[in-house]
Amino acid sequence: MNICRTKQQLKLAVKEAKGQGKTIGFVPTMGYLHEGHASLLRAAREENDIVVLSIFVNPMQFGPNEDLDRYPRDEQRDVALAAQCGTDIVFIPSVQEMYPSKPLTSIKVAEVSERLCGASRPGHFDGVGLVVSKLFHLVEPTRAYFGLKDAQQVAVIEQMVADLDMNVEIVPCPIVREPDGLALSSRNVYLSAIQRSEATVLSESLSELANALKLNGAMTPAQCIELVTDNIKEKTSGDIDYVELLEYPALMPVPAHEGLLDALADRKFIVALAVRFGSTRLIDNALFHVEEVIERV
């Protein structure tokens, strides 16, 4: 496995692979890898000749009061997991290597980035757009793999790729969960035992909504939001950042008091949430497709 720490080293490795006509699957991460990341690497391994992983905690997507300095890091463990998943190239740059000077360029994807996490974390997705664009130019991947736990990030990147005619296929991958339903996240390590137990209510609330929608596809967005919100408030001590229902991937609002079957016809919608447990902010979501009945996807 080739570990690259400079952009030049990465470019040379990519040039060699491209010269041999090989396809490249790319998994960009901020490290502290878990089974969710491993599932992305395995998907990339199955579909490409070369697998590239990047590990970079991107300061441009953290706000002034967010957890950049305390974001968990374990390079040795990350590299070992990457090797187990058959990764060929690992790119581990320093901040100085990625940003040798203050970047004066920004990539803002309007509308899609302005709701959900974009509303509560101003500038976050501008930072995501910038670093992912830089990585795409360095890696030149055939396909790039992203987990749907951050479905808004997937939507933002898909829009950026389409708008800028980037020559890469974005491959969204399912959320990977613990046996009790909690979505895997590098930030789960910060939860106390009580918070960890309460956090399972997030996925349970989404599952309860899925069951309710199967019984009554005419539920309104307001009713869906109320069901999830009430459940979280009643069963956890978490502080709700947002619970929203939006069309996906456009992330446009759906009329609050119109039945979903009438409002969305055969389109997808997302129910997304963010909840703080102490200083730890967790996100989760469920994607649904509206047909004769509503099915969770």
145 is in an annotated binding site: no
152 is in an annotated binding site: no
32 is in an annotated binding site: yes
Q: What is the dihedral of CA 127, 132, 137, 143, to 10 degrees?
A: -170
41 is in an annotated binding site: no
279 is in an annotated binding site: no
The DSSP annotation for 229-274 comes to HHHHHHH---EEEEEEEEEETT--B--TTS-HHHHHTT-EEEEEEE
d(CA 223, CA 291): 19
Q: Provide φ and ψ at 272, rounded to 5°.
A: -120, 150
CA angle 68, 157, 275 (to 5 degrees): 50
184 is in an annotated binding site: yes
149 is in an annotated binding site: yes
84 is in an annotated binding site: no
30 is in an annotated binding site: yes
Task: Exactly one of 37, 137, 257, 289 is catalytic; name it.
Answer: 37
Maximum CA extent, the chain? 58
245 is in an annotated binding site: no
CA proximity to 293, closest of 223, 228, 213: 213
10 is in an annotated binding site: no
Could you list the beta-strand ranges (E) of 98-212.
143-147, 169-173
d(CA 25, CA 49): 8
257 assigned to active site: no
d(CA 211, CA 2): 47
Q: Provide φ and ψ at 107, rounded to 5°.
A: -120, 110
161 is in an annotated binding site: no
Residues with catalytic roles: 37
Q: Which residues are annotated as a binding site for ATP?
A: 30-37, 147-150, 176, 184-187
Q: Which residues are annotated as a binding site?
A: 30-37, 61, 147-150, 153, 176, 184-187
Q: Which residues are annotated as a binding site for beta-alanine?
A: 61
